Amino acid sequence: MKVAVVHYHLRRGGVTRVIESAMAAVAGKECEVLVISGEEPASRTDFPDAKVLPGLAYRRSGNVTISMSLTEALMEMARDHFGSLPDIWHFHNHSLGKNVLVPSVTRELAERGQRVLLQMHDFSEDGRPTNYATQRSFYDSELRFEAGVYPLAKQIHYAAINKRDWSFLASAGVPSGNLHLLPNAVTGLEVQTKPDDRPFAKDKIFALYPTRGIRRKNIGELLLLSQLHEGRIHFATTLSPENPEWISIHDQWKVLAAELELPVTLGMCDDGQYPFTDLIGWSDLIVTTSIAEGFGLAFLEPWLVGKSVAGRNLPSITDDFSAQGIELGHLYERINIPLVWLDENEIRKEMDSALRQGYLAYHRKLPGDAVEKAWAHWVQKGCIDFGKLSERFQMEILRKIAGNPELINELEVPNIAPGTEQEIAEKRELIQGLYCVESYGNRLKEIYGKVRKGWTGKVRHVETGEVLNQFLDPGRLNLLRT
């Protein structure tokens, strides 16, 4: 079987790791894989035979003529490599709006009878209105946009990385026979260091948050956890953001941590003094405060290197793991803050503004009861979830507690503590069995088999608006994603 894997780039990150896992799992005698990228790979060691087609790189404008040329270039590159067209074209994140030509390319390939697998890691409909608008601008009419982004045919299959996305695609209209669940593989890191070896925080528990400090990672909550545990835990993140807009917000958290004299270090890997794997080994546990994830690697990977995970739970993601027996009930789902600590009118104003801007960005009319629906999700028994609030309100809460530490007694302090050796060993064994590269390869080869052996037929479409409907819910509002 010949498979052409297509992505915008091969920079270090989530999708690239997925492609690496797929290569390791399926490439061999039964499956010949060609990886085609819009950019030179970050590492030629990892992708020695990858081909580069610049037309696949990020692109915000274009037209049908250019997309047809890109389709021809892809087919020619595949013929040159395989001696024929591939049995399957495997695209990653085709609809994300990173390159506006790609949805048309996938549709054109299918219209020529090619078999296509579209693997979804992220959606422009999920809090990325700029991407959505960029993709929409490619089409000369709303009708063509609605028909152009999510093609349907017997020879087109979709793969989702979690059950939530699978159900959203199914509800939008993707037939179950052409829709597959393909969770990512989880692999452990090579870690040599141990907590006893670390050169800092020797008198504290060291909780590491292996993340780049972008807004949805909810950095303010890390500072709150530090306050709630009254300095007994040293918290740290690994990397600062790269986006200039997010850097300024991140710097405000650094300034506030210093102002409040909290044992929190942000961006420990930024200057190269501390290698990432050393920090993992030195940690007593891994922590996460993120309010949105795709697959949820952060909840699984640490156990493979002997580290437990504590912090904020994301049930829409972790329910998949619980269904497999990987229980994460020790994680918290909210940090309740008494509503009287804040100005309710100011919160409602910011909610209303965020909802209006969000719906406007997606060219949708805001429901009249949108704020009340969001409020019902945010507020329980007179308390509001800290993780729903914007940096402005989070900073207000942190300063309020710093001015009166006895306020901590009014809050439920989340348990941030290392797991037992038995707990870690049990979860490691489960994760290794369920999410190893071999298991991933078996699932992927099974999907490839269905795509290859299936019928071909006329290309239709799922209306793009139907996918948007799954995500655009006032109850999902979070001010850290506006």
Q: Are residues 220 and 174 in the same domain?
A: no
The reported pLDDT for the residue numbered 28 is 83
The reported pLDDT for the residue numbered 405 is 97
Q: Residue 257 sits in which domain range?
A: 195-335+412-426
Tens of pLDDT, residues 304-362: 999 999 999 999 999 999 999 999 999 999 999 999 999 999 999 999 999 999 999 99
CATH number, domain containing residue 270 = 3.40.50.2000
Q: Are residues 215 and 304 in the same domain?
A: yes
Q: Would residue 118 count as lying in a domain?
A: yes
Tens of pLDDT, residues 167-224: 999 999 999 999 999 999 999 899 999 999 999 999 999 999 999 999 999 999 999 9
Q: Would residue 264 count as lying in a domain?
A: yes
Last residue of a domain, one of 384, 399, 426: 426
Q: Are residues 165 and 266 in the same domain?
A: no
Read off φ and ψ for residue 18, nearest 5 degrees: -65, -45
Greater pLDDT, 78 or 28 = 78
Q: Flag whether pLDDT at 29 surpasses 80.
A: no
Q: Flag whether pLDDT at 30 surpasses 90.
A: no
Average pLDDT score, the chain? 96
Q: Would residue 96 count as lying in a domain?
A: yes
The reported pLDDT for the residue numbered 243 is 86
Q: Are residues 295 and 418 in the same domain?
A: yes
The reported pLDDT for the residue numbered 245 is 85
Q: Would residue 344 count as lying in a domain?
A: no
Q: Would residue 403 count as lying in a domain?
A: no
Q: Are residues 70 and 157 in the same domain?
A: yes
Q: Are residues 170 and 224 in the same domain?
A: no
Percent share of the chain, pLDDT over 90: 95
The reported pLDDT for the residue numbered 436 is 94
Q: Are residues 247 and 168 in the same domain?
A: no
What pLDDT band is residue 45 in, cutting at 50, 70 and 90? Answer: confident
The reported pLDDT for the residue numbered 42 is 86
The reported pLDDT for the residue numbered 188 is 87
Q: Are residues 177 and 63 in the same domain?
A: yes
Q: Are residues 128 and 8 in the same domain?
A: yes
Question: How many domains in the chain?
Answer: 2
Q: Would residue 377 count as lying in a domain?
A: no
Mean pLDDT of 37-51: 93
pTM over cut 0.75: yes
Q: Would residue 458 count as lying in a domain?
A: yes
Which 3-state string (H, E, C) describes the chain? Answer: CEEEEEECCCCCCHHHHHHHHHHHHHCCCCCEEEEEECCCCCCCCCCCCCEECHHHCCECCCCHHHHHHHHHHHHHHHHHHHCCCCCEEEEECCCCCCECCHHHHHHHHHHCCCCEEEEECCCCCCCCHHHHHHHHHHCCCHHHHHHHCEEECCCEEEEECCHHHHHHHHHHCCCHHHEEECCCCCCCCCCCCCHHHCCCCCCCEEEEEEEECCHHHCHHHHHHHHHHCCCCEEEEEEECCCCHHHHHHHHHHHHHHHHCCCCEECCCCCCCCCCHHHHHHHCCEEEECCCCCCCCHHHCHHHHCCCCEEEECCHHHHHHHHHCCCCCCCCECCCEEEHHHCCHHHHHHHHHHHHHHHHHHCCCCCCCCHHHHHHHHHEECCEEEHHHCCHHHHHHHHHHHHHCHHHHHHCCCCCCCCCCHHHHHHHHHHHHHHHCHHHHHHHHHHHHHHHHHCCCCCCEEECHHHHHHHHCCHHHCCHHHC
Q: Flag whether pLDDT at 391 surpasses 80.
A: yes
What pLDDT band is residue 444 in, cutting at 50, 70 and 90? Answer: very high
Q: Are residues 202 and 87 in the same domain?
A: no
Q: Are residues 87 and 223 in the same domain?
A: no
The reported pLDDT for the residue numbered 87 is 98
Last residue of a domain, one of 379, 396, 426: 426
Q: Flag whether pLDDT at 165 surpasses 90.
A: yes
Q: Are residues 67 and 158 in the same domain?
A: yes
Q: Would residue 260 count as lying in a domain?
A: yes
Non-local CB neighbours of 462 within 8 Å, separated by 6+ positions:
150, 152, 169, 172, 173, 174
Q: Flag whether pLDDT at 13 surpasses 90.
A: no
